[in-house]
Structure 1
Amino acid sequence: MSIQADTGVDDGARLKGRIRQRQEGAMLKAAEKVFARAGFQGATMAEIADVAGVPKATLLYYFASKEALYRAVLANILALWLAETESITADADPATALSAYVRAKMRLSARRPDASRVFANEIVHGATHIGEYLRTELRSTVEKRAAVIDQWAAEGRILPVDATHLFFTIWAATQTYADFDSQVCAVLGKTRLSPPDHERATAHVLTVVLRSCGLPCPAHGAATISPPPANTTH
């Protein structure tokens, strides 16, 4: 009897937890949209609450201030992006791992363009809210993954490459399709990018990244550049 009662309490707590997660997720998504359009200074809690479809008091219950909400949005974006680096491990196939990372970043640019724009706005304005995070957690993650890429090169599995700057290149190449989509659309003569447009862009970015490492480019069929031999010294 007591076990059933405890289970009921646990089930109720889990249900409340799931409801809270959904509500927070909806508010973060709404905030992402507003911050992407208006920036931190221009956004208001009233507008975010309106976009989220909740009373302003409810939004303030979850997030005590605009800055707290903004930081939560940025933390959510960074967690999402950094999780995608987990494919880059010492025992992974370099072409497979790098392709997975590039494809994931391109997918996020297509599906979550506002996230990229919020982050870009923050960086352009001096990273005043996440500077410490960039200097600590982000730097640590990049150093760890860059060490893996350096190890691949030392083992002759890829050509030598500046691993840290390779990440900068991937970020710039993938996020441009979200941050500067109006420029891309204007040059391509389109009002918006279609799924085939994104796949074409993904194939190109993959080619740039993989060829810089001396790896085959499956997006373009048979490889034209073979992986370096094990005794590569340059």
Structure 2
Amino acid sequence: MVTDGGQDALAQDFVRFAVEAGVLRFGEFKTKAGRLSPYFFNAGLFDDGAKLGRLAQFYARRILDSGIEFDMVFGPAYKGIPLAAAVVIELARLGRVVPYAFNRKEAKDHGEGGNLVGAPVKGKVLIVDDVMSAGTAARESIAIIEAAGATPHAVAIALDRQEKATENGTDVDHSAVQYVRDRLGLKVCAIARLADLLQYLQSQSGGEMAAHYNKVLAYRERYGVD
């Protein structure tokens, strides 16, 4: 839901929750691309039942509000596994019961075998992950899903960093989200974007948050994409 003031209420609630949970932090952090980022989002720190349950509520609401069609949920190893499990529980609570599956990093050669666990992978598949840095995890998930005879249809993530991806150490004009959406053909929905984080910081009155706003804004002006 977007308010009359142009704010996405769900995204603002999520950013606030992530900050309070210590999952979204401010300072100086080196990214995989070698950039010094003024903020860091670590979904692995949604590390207890209350936080994970609340996170799943945000995912489920955003997924349902997006209107994306899907028959099942897939969680890529490793962070996507608990995320997918939590999300399908919340979706079921909201009346949308769907199966889910996830992959192992190493194929199992006994028992049921293979590298897939859970429900049979079929139909339109929604991939649930935390963030996209380069689209690598999405490409790996796509290959697994297609190999199972299903259709990779969409990706749901927690935060869209809205920044340029890198290829061979060089900045490119698109983000990982744009690459997955425009070049790989998958729909993408994010609970919040960097623009929402900036709105949140701007809404905080002065002090430390104001300093963080200026640094995050400068980072977006240097590396940002829409």
Is TM more than 0.5 here? no
Structure with greater helix share of residues: 1
Larger Rg computed on CA atoms: 1
> TM-score, with normalisation over the residues of structure 2?
0.25
Please state which structure has a larger fraction of its residues in strand: 2
